[in-house]
Amino acid sequence: MKALAGATALFSFSALALAQAHPDLGVPEPHGWIGTTNQWIQGVGIIFAVVNLVLLAVVWRLVRRRGVTSVSKALLFGSILVLPVMVVFLATAHGMQESMTVDACGHCHVMKGHVADLRNPASDSLAAVHYKNRYILADQCYTCHSDYGMFGTVRAKMEGLGHVWHNTTGNYPKPIKIAHPYSNTRCLGCHGGAANFMAKHEKEQVARLMTGKDSCLDCHGPAHKPEEIGEQKQASK
């Protein structure tokens, strides 16, 4: 009975994790929808981690009562060498995925104004226009602020580590500015070659944009109109 209750509690936990879906926009789910890969990674990761912690507690008691036996050795193998590797793999995959979300970027106080502008339906900043029209379906900050390809992802993650460090230590200049000039390739990765884009830009202009001589933001900026929030608002008064 105890095992059954434990299993029920465990599945309730994982169901809770799976239920943490993206904001409900009223769009119906496809037929047979059972959640995203990331939600499954999260749910399975939680189950493995809880099972692993229970196993560790059992081994701890076994070793204390009976010393190192063949049973405790087998359990140690599973609970220290096998399951934790799987948990670390799943947690890393989940963390990597979640660190790309707008919520993750907006977690730092300094970015809250940018995220508020992004989500403001009345804002006409470039970021807000992309967000409210769902030109980018998810992870909007990350999509526009990371380069394409594997090394773009690696570079973005490394810079993200730096952002966490600067935010934690408070060591950053105010108001914050983008670290590098914004590259046109990030815009052209989606827009370049699109019929709409080619129709609205002259050939010479396209060439200048492609070579980076002109910036997309020269005409389509500002990218953000950060709203003043909390301390920023008080400081500016």
Partner 1 sequence: MSEPVEAGNARGAAVADRGAVTLIRLAILSTALALVIGLTLLFQETPLVFTAFMVLGPGLLALAFLLLGIVILRELRSNKIL
Instruction: Note the residues at the interface with partner 1 (CB under 8 A).
Output: 17, 42, 45-46, 49-50, 52-53, 56, 59-60, 63-64, 67-68, 72, 76, 79-81, 84-85, 87-88, 90-92, 94-95, 98-99, 104, 107-108, 160-161, 163-164, 167-168
Nearer to partner 1, 167 or 185 (CB): 167
Nearer to partner 1, 88 or 194 (CB): 88
For residues 87 and 45, is the Cβ–Cβ distance under 8 A?
yes
For 177, phi and psi rounded to 5 degrees?
-130, 155
For residues 104 and 98, is the Cβ–Cβ distance under 8 A?
yes
**Look-up of token digits 């080619």:** 198
Provide, rounded to whole angstroms, the least separation between the CB of residue 64 and partner 1. Answer: 8
For residues 121 and 134, is the Cβ–Cβ distance under 8 A?
no
**Look-up of token digits 């926009």:** 25
First to last CA, the chain: 63
Provide, rounded to whole angstroms, the least separation between the CB of residue 50 and partner 1. Answer: 7
Nearer to partner 1, 61 or 134 (CB): 61
Nearer to partner 1, 111 or 126 (CB): 111
Q: Which two tokens stand for residue 147?
A: 């380069």
Nearer to partner 1, 97 or 215 (CB): 97
Furthest CA-CA distance within the chain = 81
Q: How many C-beta atoms lie closer than 10 Å to residue 25's C-beta?
A: 6
Provide, rounded to whole angstroms, the least separation between the CB of residue 57 and partner 1. Answer: 8
Nearer to partner 1, 95 or 222 (CB): 95
Nearer to partner 1, 84 or 189 (CB): 84
Provide, rounded to whole angstroms, the least separation between the CB of residue 60 and partner 1. Answer: 5
- List, in sequence order, the alpha helices (H) in the chain: 2-19, 37-66, 70-76, 83-98, 102-105, 112-118, 126-132, 140-144, 150-169, 184-191, 195-200, 203-210, 216-220, 231-236
Provide, rounded to whole angstroms, the least separation between the CB of residue 155 and partner 1. Answer: 16
Provide, rounded to whole angstroms, the least separation between the CB of residue 93 and partner 1. Answer: 10
Task: Tell me the one-letter amino acid at 184.
Answer: N
**Look-up of token digits 């070659």:** 193
Provide, rounded to whole angstroms, the least separation between the CB of residue 231 and partner 1. Answer: 19
